[in-house]
Amino acid sequence: MSHFVESNPALKIPVIPSHPAYRGASCQTAAASFVRLPPEGEGAEDGASLHRLISFRFHSALLPEPEERGVCVYLPPQYAREPARRFPVFYLHDGQNLFDGRLSYIPGRTWRAGMTADETNESGLTEPVILVGIANTGLRRMAEYTPTRDFRMGGGDGSRYGRALIEEIKPFIDREFRTLTSARHTGLGGSSLGGLITLYLGLQCPNVFSRLAVLSPSIWWDHRSILNLVADAKPKPELKIWVDIGTAEGARHVRDAELLVRLLERQGWRLGADLAFLKVVGGVHDEEAWAARFGRVLTFLFPAAHDHGPGGE
C-alpha cells in the first residue's frame, strides 16, 4: 500500500496511514520492546531531580536501525505527590540533548528541559507536564526527521518515524504513566530538522498532537516542500503552534520562518491566540539558544489554566 497522496501537483507528500492509535486508542506493535534502565546517578543537569528522570532502552519494530535507541521520561514533582492525578505529555525529538550533558551532542550543553519545566511549574506559569525525550540515532537522524526525500540529500523516512512514535512509543507511555491521552493534552516539539518533523507530524496527525513547538525549523529541506503541506491544511486543524528563529541563524532561515508564519496566518492561525512567533536578535542555532527560550515555549503551549485533578481528560 502506498503511503503517498498527490496533495500538490508538483509534490508528493508522505501521508501516515490510518491507524487506531491516531484516534487515541492504545496500540502496541508486538515486536517493539522497552527495557527500563537503572538510574544514572550524579551527572544530569543541575537542578533536576534525578529520581524523576526515567530512562528506557527502546527497540522498534518499525524503524530498521539501529537495534536500540533511548527514550527518557521526566516527571513533574506533582506526579509523586498527587497519585490520582493525570498529566499532559510533551514529546521532544533529539532526546539526548534535553537533560543530561554527558549524552548531548555537544558535551555539557542541553536544553535544561527538566530544570526549566520545574521552574515554570513551580512559579505558576505552566501546568505540570510529563516530558518524553526520544533520542536521535546519529546517522539516521536526517532520514527520520525529514518527511520527503530530497533529490541530493536523500532522507524521507519521517512517516515511518512518526508511526513508531504514535504506534509504539505513545501507547507505551500512556500505559506505563498516568497521562492525559487525548490530543488536546499532547504536545510535540523539536529544533532544526526536529522542528520540521514536528510540523509535519502535527499537520498529519492533529488528532494525536495538538500543541507544536517548532524551533529554528529547517524549512529549506527539499525546496521548502513542507510549505505545500501547510498550504493544503484545509480545514484548518486545531493546533496551537510555537515558531521561533534566531537572527544569527542566517537571513535565509529567518525569511523561511517568517514565510511559514505568514502562511499559517493565511490559513487561519492567529498570533497571540493559537500561534506564537519569536524572532531572537542574535540567536544562534544550538542547544544553549533553545534552552534559553524553552520556558517561553512551555508557557505558551502548556499554560497553567486548567486543573486536571483525579482522572479527568
The 8-class DSSP code of residue 168 comes to I
Name 280's bridge partners: 246
Delimit the domains of the chain by residue range.
4-301
* Residue linked to cell 526520544: 134
Beta carbons within 8 Å of 54's beta carbon, 6+ residues apart: 36, 72, 73, 74, 75
Percent of the chain with pLDDT over 70: 81
Q: What is the pLDDT of residue 9?
A: 33
Beta carbons within 8 Å of 262's beta carbon, 6+ residues apart: none
**pTM of the full predicted structure?**
0.88
| pLDDT, tens only, 15-26 | 555 444 333 333
Burial of 209 (0-12, 13-18, 19+ CB in 10 A): buried
Name 69's bridge partners: 58
Whether omega for the bond prior to residue 235 falls within 30 degrees of 0, making it cis, is yes
Q: 264, 230 in Cβ contact below 8 A?
A: yes
Q: What is the pLDDT of residue 106?
A: 59
In angstroms, rounded to a whole number, what is the distance separating the alpha carbons of residues 236 and 104?
A: 36
Buried b (16+ CB within 10 A) or exposed e, 275-298: bbbbebeebebbbebbbebbbbbb
Overall average pLDDT of the 305-310 stretch: 54
Beta carbons within 8 Å of 267's beta carbon, 6+ residues apart: 230, 231, 233, 234, 236
In angstroms, rounded to a whole number, what is the distance separating the alpha carbons of residues 230 and 281?
A: 26
Q: 192, 218 in Cβ contact below 8 A?
A: yes
- CATH class, range 4-301: alpha beta
Name 213's bridge partners: 189, 242
**Structure-block grid coordinates of residue 121:** 511549574
Q: 146, 156 in Cβ contact below 8 A?
A: yes
Overall average pLDDT of the 295-306 stretch: 92
Q: Is the pLDDT of residue 155 over 60?
A: yes
Q: Is the pLDDT of residue 91 over 60?
A: yes
